[in-house]
Amino acid sequence: MYDAFVVALAVFIGVAGHEMFGMAMLSRPIVVAPLAGALMGDLQTGLIVGASLEAIFMGVVNIGISSTAEPSLAAGLATAFAIKMGGNVDAVIPLVFPLAVLGLQLMNMIFSFVCGPMAARFFKFAKSGDQKGIINLHFFMWFIHYALYALIPFFAVLFGADVVKSVLDNIPEVIMNGLTVAGNLLPAVGMAMLLRMLWSKNIAVWFFFGAVIMAYFELPLIAIAAVGTIIAIVIAQRDLQLKNMHVNTVSQGDAISNVTIDQEEEDFFQ
């Protein structure tokens, strides 16, 4: 019972805190898994699970309708099951992505069928100018939404990994395949949406530069990020130099103008 409660608490802190503090990334596996491991008395396994899952879900960021998986549920359950299996992280990895995809669907269902119907009350409070009512209802629905979601890992840990695996195995293969395909496609769609907002002809060449060095030189993402950081620093230093040169040129021009005016005044009075 204690393990189930602390895992549910870790998942609640992750997902609820993530939204409370403005996309604070508290729902990432690197946060939820060590927290669950520490509360269960095995921080080392929590860190190992968190690092392993963060590598899997590093490219998964749910933005608007571009959502693919909810990693905090998978991180909490994977940590609990790995600890119960004596630190066997490899045994729980195959369960992670199906749990994350299923977790996102369940979170959306709770939001749609529990929080959605309360929208009318928000409109009612807004029309009457009841600001306090809006604030209280907002935090109440925030708590209800993520508390109900935290019940999923609570009962999953309470009943054990075998029950969770059995439930996943009983889901029709065609549905799981569809969820997997959609999950693989949506990160690309999300990145395309971000790229569309950030696209600029002035920096387009660097996008193609990154694509070329990744495709032909097969550099890992960390190396590409390091190259990008170096390029950004060099460009920033060059821009600073150009700015200083412009400031110095303007200052020198003003000084010459002042000297010329003073000289003309002296010539006039002489």
Residue-wise pLDDT for 73-106, tens only, equals: 888 888 887 777 666 666 666 666 677 777 777 7
- Determine phi and psi for 203, rounding to 5 degrees: -120, 5
H-run or E-run covering 130? none
Instruction: Give the pLDDT score at 230.
Output: 92
Q: 3-class DSSP state for residue 25?
A: coil
pTM score of the predicted model: 0.57
pLDDT digits (tens, 9 = 90+) for 104-127: 777 777 777 877 788 788 888 888
Alpha carbon distance 54, 50 (integer Å): 6
- Whole-angstrom Cα Rg for the chain: 27
Span 23-42, average pLDDT? 83
Q: Confidence band (pLDDT; 50, 70, 90) for 250?
A: low
Alpha carbon distance 93, 87 (integer Å): 12
Of 111-115, 220-224, 260-264, highest mean pLDDT: 220-224
Residue at token pair 């065609």? 174
H-run or E-run covering 55? helix 43-57
Whether residue 155 has pLDDT greater than 60: yes
Instruction: Give the pLDDT score at 209.
Output: 87
Domain range summary for the chain, segments of one domain joined by +:
2-198, 205-269
